[in-house]
């Protein structure tokens, strides 16, 4: 059982839990693209290590020991993403897969040096919080763009990096973190929204809009 496999499992479970859903073997298998039987076997092993609780038909839950390890690897991943953008001129739709490779081989010493070089960032290039060395991270009241009611102005605070398509769309439309979307109109009947950005009227389908998180501006 490799360290990389363990870290990928713990990280994936943490992300699924953060999305508000109960974590079952099938959802974890889909996220990791691994056969459910293999996932079940791994969960049983991780349970014996005291990293999580696994009960058949009732799902999976990280224990404190597992959560600490998950946040550690998430911290390394997001620091790498920040480093790639700030110092190597990667685009934000290119950095996820690169960070996946380096996060597992990053020593604590390198982690600390990159954190200092970046001036201790609290958010990554996609707007996700970067846990500090103790596992604490900044919290915000944000909501998916699809939840915004009509005629609101909103500020973009996060784009879900699991959707490269939304990142490419944002690049094409010159939309980034901190940008204001004006007069958001939510057309639930047609599952799309319209808004104004840089004096342009933009139509956006829910399939993409659900990956954009915002704060309402009052």
Q: Give the residue carrying structure tokens 């020593």.
A: 107
Confidence at residue 129, expressed as pLDDT on a 0 to 100 scale: 95
Confidence at residue 58, expressed as pLDDT on a 0 to 100 scale: 85
pLDDT in tens, 4-49: 899 999 999 999 988 777 888 999 999 899 998 899 999 999 999 9
Alpha helices in 89-151 (DSSP H): 95-102, 108-117
Average pLDDT, the chain: 92
Q: Select from 121, 123, 126, 130 the least CA-distant residue to 103.
A: 130
Largest CA distance in the chain: 57
Confidence at residue 211, expressed as pLDDT on a 0 to 100 scale: 92
Percentage above 90 pLDDT, the chain: 76
Contact 123, 156 (CB under 8 A): no
How many other C-beta atoms lie within 10 A of the C-beta of residue 140?
Answer: 11
Q: Give the residue carrying structure tokens 């609290």.
A: 122
* Distances in whole angstroms, Cα of residue 111 to Cα of each of 9, 20, 23, 75, 116: 21, 29, 29, 9, 9
Two tokens, residue 38 = 């293999």
Confidence at residue 151, expressed as pLDDT on a 0 to 100 scale: 81
Confidence at residue 135, expressed as pLDDT on a 0 to 100 scale: 92
pTM of the model: 0.89
How many other C-beta atoms lie within 10 A of the C-beta of residue 46?
Answer: 23
Q: Rg of the chain over CA atoms, in angstroms? A: 19
Burial zone of 109 (CB within 10 Å; 0-12 exposed, 13-18 middle, 19+ buried): exposed
pLDDT in tens, 184-204: 999 998 999 999 999 999 999
Of the pLDDT bands very low, low, confident and very high (cuts 50, 70, 90), residue 167 is very high
pLDDT in tens, 41-63: 999 999 999 999 998 888 899 99
For 24-40, b/e burial (b = at least 16 CB within 10 A) is bbebbbebbebeeeebe
Separation of alpha carbons 25 and 10, rounded Å? 13
* Distances in whole angstroms, Cα of residue 78 to Cα of each of 11, 59, 62, 95, 192: 12, 27, 21, 10, 31
């Amino acid at each position: 059982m490799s360290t990389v496999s363990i870290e990928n499992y713990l990280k994936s479970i943490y992300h699924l839990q953060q999305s508000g859903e109960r974590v079952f073997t099938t959802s974890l298998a889909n996220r990791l693209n691994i056969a459910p039987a293999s996932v079940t076997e791994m969960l049983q092993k991780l349970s014996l290590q005291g990293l999580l609780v696994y009960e058949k038909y009732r799902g999976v839950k990280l224990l404190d020991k597992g959560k600490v390890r998950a946040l550690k690897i998430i911290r390394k991943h997001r620091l790498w993403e920040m480093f790639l953008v700030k110092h190597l001129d990667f685009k934000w739709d290119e950095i996820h897969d690169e960070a996946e490779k380096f996060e597992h081989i990053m020593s604590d010493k390198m982690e600390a040096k990159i954190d200092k070089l970046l001036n201790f960032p609290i958010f990554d290039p996609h707007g996700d919080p970067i846990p500090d060395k103790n596992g604490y991270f900044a919290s915000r009241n944000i909501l998916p763009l699809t939840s915004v009611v009509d005629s609101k102005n909103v500020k973009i605070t996060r784009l879900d990096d699991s959707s490269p398509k939304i990142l490419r769309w944002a690049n094409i439309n010159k939309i980034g973190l901190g940008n204001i979307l004006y007069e958001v109109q939510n057309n639930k009947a047609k599952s799309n929204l319209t808004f104004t950005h840089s004096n342009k009227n933009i139509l956006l389908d829910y399939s993409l809009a659900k990956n954009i998180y915002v704060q309402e501006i009052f």
